[in-house]
Amino acid sequence: MSVVRSPAEVHRVVQLVSTGRIVPVIPISNTTGQGVDILLELLNLLPPRLRWEEKRQGALLAYVSDLFDVRGVGPVVAVTVLRGVVKENSTLFIGPFHDGSWRMVRVRSIHVNRVPVAVARAGEEATLAITGAEVEELEKGMTVAEAPLQAVWEFDAEILVLKHPSTIRPGYQTVFHAFSIRSPVVFEEMEKEPMRTGDRGLVKLRFLYHPLVPRGWGTLCATGFEDQGDRHCEASF
């Protein structure tokens, strides 16, 4: 922990924050505003966690986070662009659907922060007005890409059980969370059986209702049905 009290100390601390060795602490007064300028300078100087400029060079990968049916416009999907770019009037694919298929769609228009734009880039959240699919057919968590991607029903994960009221065994069902994906899964196989709070091990999970695209998931959480929403699993891919 390092207490930052002056702008001069900000530059020294910023160089060490990325190493994970220190945590900057800035005294702030809501009454006088003291320390707010130091906090803002620190936030402006912090290096980005992701190098979006590099990710914008790759193939498009975006996840659907919300769906709208706009009168006079038609289907509109809100997406988080994780890689590549989306261009107006481009032809893309959205899916997978329950049978694993993909649908070709055309991007009629793009909005970022409610402002019409010609391109949405990696690191941005955008809304896309599309043709070629109906809102009723689409779901949150679907993927938007330049070509159909390989979707899977099963995947392996290393999980750490952070909190759980009982034990986890094959057949246990939970809700898988990744970006905008919220999909029930079942534990098919387990390296260690049973698993309790604090246990770590490899497991095989299977989606219950439809396949999904395992791209860019990284570190995730799962929510147990009986836990009333408490997140208890951390999975690395």
Residues 158 and 222 in one domain: yes
**CATH number, domain with residue 207:** 2.40.30.10
Give the HSE-up count for residue 194: Cα atoms under 13 Å, Cβ half-sphere.
10
Residues 77 and 135 in one domain: yes
Residues 64 and 135 in one domain: yes
Residues 88 and 168 in one domain: no
Amino acid identity, position 82: L
Residues 167 and 226 in one domain: yes
Average pLDDT over residues 82-102: 95
Residues 159 and 118 in one domain: no
Average pLDDT over residues 31-59: 87
Q: What share of the chain in percent tops pLDDT 70?
A: 90
Residues 83 and 158 in one domain: no
CB 205 within 8 A of CB 189: no
- Residue 211 pLDDT exceeds 80: yes
Per residue in 134-150, pLDDT (tens digit) is: 999 999 999 999 999 98
Calculate the CA dihedral of residues 98, 102, 108, 110 and round it to 10 degrees: 70
Residues 125 and 169 in one domain: no
Name the residue range of residue 84's domain: 54-145
Residues 81 and 137 in one domain: yes
| Cα distance between residue 176 and residue 165, in whole Å | 18
Residues 27 and 97 in one domain: no
Longest Cα–Cα distance of the chain, Å, equals 60
Residues 129 and 101 in one domain: yes
Among residues 202, 197, 203, 199, which one has the least CA distance to residue 163? 197
| Cα distance between residue 234 and residue 228, in whole Å | 17
Q: How many domains does the chain have?
A: 3
pTM of the model: 0.74
Residue 70 vs residues 75, 134, 170: alpha-carbon distances, Å: 6, 11, 44
Residues 78 and 127 in one domain: yes
